[in-house]
Structure 1
Amino acid sequence: MSTTTIAARSSTLTIGLCFIVALLEGMDIQSAGIVGPSLAAHFSLSSSALGLVFSASIMGLLPGALVGGWLADKVGRKSVLIAAVTMFGIFSLATAIAWNYESLLAARFLTGLGLGAAMPNLIALCSEAVEQRLHGTAVSMMYCGMPLGGALAAVIGLTGTEETWKTVFYVGGVGPLLIVPLLYWWLPESSAFRAQKNTGAAQARADWRGLFQHDTAKSTVLLWVGFFFTLMVLFILQNWLPTLLRGLGFNRIEATTVQIVLNVGGALGALILGRLLDRWNVALLVVLMYCGILVALGGLGLSTHLTAMVIAGFTAGFFSIGGQLVLYALVPRFYPTAIRGTGVGAAVAVGRLGSMSGPLLAGQMLAAGSGAATVLMAATPGVLVAAVSVLFLLNGRRQVQQGTSLTE
C-alpha cells in the first residue's frame, strides 16, 4: 500500500471520528437551549436565572479550551480529546439527574469544561490531517457535525413533551461514552504533533509566550476580537431563540422547527463556506458572511409569520454557524505546529467570553422587559466589530506571506 493511500485513509478516519465527536458536542451545547422553557418550568427559574444556566456550561468552555489547547501541545491531541469526550459525556448525564438549581449549574459548568477542551483538539487534528490548501474543507467537514448535533437535539426535544426534557441529556451523555473506545482504538495522533514532539527546539516554544511574539501578537489580538463578537451572536441564537420565539407567540413545535432549520442551515453553511475558504477570495467571503448575519438578525427580529421566520432561521444558521467555521479554519494558519493547539485553544476560550456574555445579556434584557427584536438588534454592533477585526487580520496575513510562513 502506497504512502499516499495510507495518508488518505488516516485523514479520512481522523475527520470522520472528529465529525462524530462534533455531532455529540453540538447536541450537548444546544441541549439546554432546546429545553429551556421546560428547564425554567421544572426548576421555577426566572429569565435571568435561566440565562445563568445557559452561561454555566459556557463558563466551563473557557478554561476547558485554554487548558485543552495547551495540553494538546504538551501531551498530544488524541489523549486530551479522549479525556474531554469522557468528561462531557459524564456530566451531561449528571444534568439529567440534577436535583436543584445549584446542582444543575454545577453539572452544566463541568460539562462545559469537557466541551471546551474538545474543540481545539478537533480543529488541530483535522487541520493537521491534510495539507494547508485543504484546511478549510477538512475543518468544515468536521464542524458541520456541530449544527447537525444541534438539530438532532431539537428533534429529540420535538418528539418529547414538556415533561420529558431529560431525554436529550441522557442521549447526550451516553453517546460520548460509547464513542470513547473507538477514539482510543482508531483515532490516529496528528503526524505534525509527532514530528514536532521529537524536535527539542520546537517543544521549547510550546508555551503561551508564543502567542505574543512579534510575528503572532497582532494576529492573536484580532482573532480574539473576531471570535468574541461572532460567538456572542451565535450563542444568543443557539440558547435563546426557542424562548424568544415563544415570547413572540409561536408555539413549542413552531419554535423548535425554526431551531432545527437554523442548525440545518448551519451545517450547509459550514460545508459551503468551508469549501469556498479554500477556493475563493477570503476577504470577500468574510464580507458576505457578516452581511448575511446582519440580514438574518433583522429577519428574525421582524418576522411575524412562520414561513418568514423559517427562512430567517435558515439564513441565520447558514451565515452565523458557517461563519464561525470560517474563523475556526483560519486560526491554524496563523500559528506554527508547536503552539497551534495553544493558539486555537486561546482563541476559542476568548470566544467563549462572548458566548457567555451573549446569553447573559439577552437574559438581563428580557428580564428588564425588552422584546425579541430588541435583543436581536442589540447584537448588530458586535457583528460589525467582528467583521472589521477579521478583515484587518486577513490584511496582516497578506503581509506575513511576504515573509516566512507561520504554518510550517
Structure 2
Amino acid sequence: LDKLHMGWVFSAGIFGLLPGAFLGGLLADRIGRKRVLMASVALFGLFSLVTTMAWDFNSLLVARCLTGVGLGAALPNLIALCSEVAGPRLRGTAVSLMYCGVPLGAALAAGIGIADLAGGWQVVFYVGGVVPLLIVPMLGLYLPESALFRSIKDTPPVSVVQGLFRDGAALPTAMIWVSFFFTLMVVYILINWLPSLLVGQGFSGRQASWVMLALQIGAATGTLLLGWFMDRLPAWALSALIYLGILASLTALGLATEMRSMLVAGFVAGFFATGGQCVLYALAPHFYRPSVRTTGVGCAVAIGRLGAMNGPLVAGKMLALGTGTTGVMLASAPGIVIAALAMFYLSVRRNGSQAD
C-alpha cells in the first residue's frame, strides 16, 4: 500500500473508535460498565483476527473500523471503572496504572517487529486477537461492577444534553473536547507515521522499530509518572510541563539526524504525548456526576478520535506534497498550544468540579 492508502487504513481504525466510544459510554451508564466492557473486548479481539484474513483494501478497512469500535467502547468503561473505584484522591494514579497497558502493548508490537518473526505483520494481530478473547471469561468471573453504578442504576437516566451541557458543565465539556482533539491528533501522527517518517529521513526499518520501542517505553513511563504527579502537583503546573515537553519533543524529532538523539527524542515524545493523554483521561471524570460519567468520558474520547483520525490523513497529504518530517512536526505545534490553553482552564476549574 502507498502512503495515501496507509493513511486511510490508519484512519479507518480510528474512525471506528468514534461510535464505539460514544455508544459504549452511553450504554454503560444504562446497563453497566462491566457488561459493555466484556462485549467491547470480545469485539476488538475478534476483528483483530479478521484483519489477518483481509483479502483486499476494502475488507481491510472494514476489519480495522470494527476493531476500532470495540476499542472505542472499551476505553471509557475502563476509565470510569478505575476512577470510581479509586475515588478523587487517587484517580490519576489509578487511571495511569490502567492505561500504561496501552503503550506496553504497543511496545510489545514494536518488539515483534524488531524480532522479524516468520508470520510477519500478522503475528501482531494474532496476539491482539487471541489474548483479548481469552480475557473475556476472566472479566466475567473476576471483575466487579462499579459500586457507584449499582447505587444509581435504578434512578431515571439523564439525557446526554442535560448531563454534558447544563448545570455549569458546558464550558468544561467544550474545553475537554478541545484538549482531547488536538492532543490525540499529535499522538496518532506519531504512532502511525513516525516509522515512515524515519525511513524517509534515511534510517533503516529496524532503526525505526527501535525508535518506536523507545517511544512506547517513554509512553508507559510517562503514563505512570505523570498520573502519579497528577495526584500530588498543582494541575496547572503539570499541564505546563506536559505541553512544553510535547513541543520540545516534536522539534527534536523534526531536527534529529543521528540514531542516539532520535532514540532520546522518541522516548521524550512518548513520555509527554501519551502520558499527557492519560492525564486527560484521568481529569475528565472529575467534571461529570456518576449518572453521566461514562457518557461524558466516552464523548470526550470520541472527539479525541476525530483528531486522531484527521492527524494521520493530514500528515499523509503533507508528506505526499513533499513537506518531509520537519514540516509535519512543526505543523503540529499550533494544535498543541491550543490544547495547552484548554487544559490550563480545566486545571483551574478542577477543584470546583461537580464530580464525586
Q: Which bracket does the TM-score occupy, shorter chain normalised?
A: over 0.9
Instruction: Tell me which amino acid in the other structure corresponds to 1:378.
Output: A
Q: Runs of 5+ in structure 2 lacking a partner?
A: none
- Out of 265, 274, 280, the residue aligned to residue 227 of structure 2 is 274
Runs of 4+ with deviation above 6 angstroms: none
Q: Runs of 5+ in structure 1 lacking a partner?
A: 1-44
Identify the residue that residue 252 of structure 1 maps to in structure 2. 205
Determine if contact 2:30/2:157 at 8 Å carries over to the other structure: no
Identify the residue that residue 406 of structure 1 maps to in structure 2. 354
SS in 2 for 1:205: coil
1:387 and 2:340 aligned: yes
1:52 and 2:8 aligned: yes
Identify the residue that residue 54 of structure 2 maps to in structure 1. 98
Instruction: Tell me which amino acid in the other structure corresponds to 2:344.
Output: L
Identify the residue that residue 288 of structure 2 maps to in structure 1. 335
Identify the residue that residue 193 of structure 1 maps to in structure 2. 149
Instruction: Tell me which amino acid in the other structure corresponds to 1:222.
Output: M
Identify the residue that residue 126 of structure 1 maps to in structure 2. 82
Q: State percent identity of aligned pairs.
A: 55
* Residues 249-297 of structure 1: per-residue CA shift (max 9 Å, x gap): 1111110000011010011101100000001111000000000000000
Deviation at 1:376, TM superposition (A): 1.1
Instruction: Tell me which amino acid in the other structure corresponds to 2:67.
Output: T
Identify the residue that residue 182 of structure 2 maps to in structure 1. 229
- Out of 353, 356, 363, the residue aligned to residue 306 of structure 2 is 353
Distance 1:388 1:217 in 2: 17
Identify the residue that residue 12 of structure 1 maps to in structure 2. none
Distance 1:295 1:162, change over 3 A: farther
Instruction: Tell me which amino acid in the other structure corresponds to 1:182.
Output: M
User: Taking structure 1 as the reference length, what is the TM-score of the superposition?
Assistant: 0.86
Distance 2:172 2:329 in 1: 29
Distance 1:369 1:131 in 2: 49
1:182 and 2:138 aligned: yes
Instruction: Tell me which amino acid in the other structure corresponds to 2:84.
Output: E
Determine if contact 1:74/1:206 at 8 Å carries over to the other structure: no
Instruction: Tell me which amino acid in the other structure corresponds to 2:11.
Output: S
Determine if contact 2:183/2:277 at 8 Å carries over to the other structure: yes
Distance 1:335 1:88 in 2: 27
SS in 1 for 2:231: helix
Distance 1:208 1:186 in 2: 34
Determine if contact 1:206/1:338 at 8 Å carries over to the other structure: no
Alignment of 1:86-165 (within 5 A): 86-160=42-116, 164-165=120-121
Instruction: Tell me which amino acid in the other structure corresponds to 1:407.
Output: A
1:80 and 2:36 aligned: yes
The RMSD of aligned alpha carbons is 1.2
* Residues 125-162 of structure 1: per-residue CA shift (max 9 Å, x gap): 10011121000010000011111011001111211269
1:363 and 2:311 aligned: no
Determine if contact 1:133/1:278 at 8 Å carries over to the other structure: yes
Determine if contact 2:36/2:74 at 8 Å carries over to the other structure: yes
Distance 1:103 1:346 in 2: 28
SS in 2 for 1:250: coil
Deviation at 1:374, TM superposition (A): 0.7
Deviation at 1:163, TM superposition (A): 7.0
How many pairs were matched up? 356
Distance 1:174 1:368 in 2: 39
Determine if contact 2:235/2:348 at 8 Å carries over to the other structure: no
Distance 1:101 1:63 in 2: 22
